[in-house]
Amino acid sequence: MPVGKETAGATERIIGEWMQDKDRASLVIATKVAGPSSRPFLLQQREIELHGPAPDPSEQLCHSPAQLARACDASLSRLRTTYIDLYQLHWPDRPTPLWGASVFTQALAKGVYSMRAVDTAPSQGRPFEEICSGVKALLDAGKIRAWGLSNETAYGVTMFCETARRLGMALPVSVQNDFSLLDRRFETETLEACHHYGVALLPYGPLCGGTLADKYGASRDGHKTAKLQLGRHVEFADFQARYHAPPSLQASRRYADAARKHGLTPVELALGWCASRWYVASTIIGCTTVEHLREDFAACGKRLSAEVEALVEGIHRANKNPNADHEGAALL
């Protein structure tokens, strides 16, 4: 769901409470620090958590060393732990195509961010050296044990890794990018860069908010049949619009029909395919019910036959990356 003032930090607080009677050493806890966005309540929430001063109204979210430090401390407080296993930079602190957009436009080249609801004043973003130095301070202090990237490009992965090498610090271990049967752009240049630097993929959106689960009836009539089941596209129709725009629904229908013809559910096909890629370390799932969660767990362990793999490739070639580059694709 879209982050709001009422829900900011809630997941960390819930997990922090849950962890209190668990063996912390047996858990791998990952969280993120927000990138540039005109969401001042995130800055306010950090200081409320830390009993700090109210932030300057002109201050914008970014990955400066100072903000990285405060954000990390606030996360540690909410999680009620002394360290975070994987700390991820949540989208780049520079103008770059995001969330379905794939064209590096002249506006981006001039430093105008492409995000909805963000300050569009020209800016080239924060230097890689400055961001890495902030991350290094957290690593050296033992507050985080590893770090990762999110929504990154081949250029971003390469620059972060080379900068980390120059600073004598650990390289990022992961990148959390949008990746599914409906968006496989990661498999080209970004995968090549990640492979050479040992950066694993943690895909988000493998079911595209339920679209690839056939949650909204996409495989029956080619469009979202309203409110068939509770889900994010019903509750938040404008959120991640690329996941349920017509091109995505049409391709999803083909995948769902193919799955059933081979004795699979749409979830088994979508998650089984995603989780079994050689470059995927773990697949990020979402659910509305416990039943969905159990189905997701089972589907992630599904291995597809060579025949089904070939069928997936055929559908992909005829419907390449429908989540990208249509009207509304770049919305969060």
How many beta carbons lie within 10 A of that of residue 131, not counting itself?
A: 24
Cα separation values, 46 from 39, 40, 53, 55, 325, Å? 12, 10, 10, 9, 35
> Which residue in 77, 180, 116, 93 sits closest to 330, CA to CA?
116
Q: What is the pTM of this model?
A: 0.88
Q: Are 46 and 70 in contact (CB under 8 A)?
A: yes
Cα separation values, 268 from 101, 275, 300, Å? 28, 10, 7
Domain annotation for the chain: domains and CATH numbers: 10-176 (3.20.20.100), 208-318 (no CATH)
Give the confidence band of 146 by pLDDT, cuts at 50, 70, 90: very high
Question: DSSP state, 212?
Answer: G
Q: Which residues are within 8 A (CB) of 242 and not within 5 positions of it... i.e. 6 or more apart?
A: 99, 100, 248, 323, 324, 326, 328, 329, 330, 331
Question: DSSP state, 120?
Answer: -
Q: Give me the pLDDT at residue 234, please.
A: 61
Burial (0-12, 13-18, 19+ Cβ within 10 Å), 51: exposed
pLDDT, tens digit (0-9, with 9 covering 90-100), for 96-145: 888 777 778 888 888 877 655 455 556 778 999 999 999 999 999 999 99
> Which residue in 179, 169, 227, 232 sits closest to 202, CA to CA?
179
pLDDT, tens digit (0-9, with 9 covering 90-100), for 18-42: 999 999 999 999 999 998 887 778 8
Distance separating alpha carbons of residues 215 and 238, to the nearest angstrom: 17
Token pair recorded at residue 296: 């997701």
Token pair recorded at residue 146: 């590893």
Element (H, E) at 89: strand 86-90
Residue located via tokens 């430093």: 111
Give the confidence band of 231 by pLDDT, cuts at 50, 70, 90: low
pLDDT, tens digit (0-9, with 9 covering 90-100), for 53-100: 988 888 888 999 999 999 999 999 999 999 999 999 998 999 888 877
Q: What is the mean pLDDT of the chain?
A: 87
Residue located via tokens 């629904």: 249
Vertex 12, ends 8 and 16: CA angle to 5°?
Answer: 145
Distance separating alpha carbons of residues 7 and 3, to the nearest angstrom: 6
Sign of the CA dihedral 279, 126, 104, 321? Answer: positive
